[in-house]
Amino acid sequence: MSRIRPLSFHPLHSAHLPELADLWVASWNKAMPSIDFETRRIWFCDHLEAQRVKGVQTLCAFAWNGDMAGFVLIDPAPHYLDQFVIAPKLWGRNIGHELMARAKDISPSGIRLDVNQDNPRAVKFYEKCGFTIRSEGVNPNSGLKTFALEWKPGA
């Protein structure tokens, strides 16, 4: 697939909330089709707002045509990456690596995240970005098994 470079990265603006929620649903439905993420849209919007109030940063990537290409939700204080989403039609076009580089700029001393074990595409992506598996766990919302991953600069 050809590489598409987003023209810009910007903090989340309230005008982009509907597009961001649509992108979250579409991406998760493609990655985990056994779960209906449309029914989780309200949870996600409430979660996003709660994270915003806590000071968690949401950085959005926009493609050349103005469409949201992806976003990352990251809290640099505990170094936790809560959400990392790329538009499914843009998977494999380097946007994820560019967005991850921006996430590392936001939290330069390290990043922790949890990923579903049965999402091998995501696990492989994070490993390519320098993350290592630290432990196993269970997602409290879905009950699915997870890996706790960590990236440290220079590791």
pLDDT tens sequence across 18-44? 999 999 999 999 988 888 899 999 999
The whole domain housing 78 covers 8-151
**Which letter, b or e, does each residue of 13-36 get, where b requires 16 or more Cβ atoms within 10 Å of its Cβ?**
eeebeeebeebbbbbbeebbeeee
- Which phi and psi (to 5°) does residue 16 adopt? -95, 0
pLDDT tens sequence across 60-71? 999 888 899 999
Domain count, the chain: 1
Model pLDDT, residue 1: 45
- Decide if 1 is inside a domain: no
Residue 25, H or E segment: helix 17-31
Asked if residues 116 and 141 have their Cβ atoms less than 8 Å apart, the reply is: no
Question: What CATH number is attached to the domain comprising 124?
Answer: 3.40.630.30
Q: Which of the residues in the chain have pLDDT under 70?
A: 1-7
- Decide if 48 is inside a domain: yes
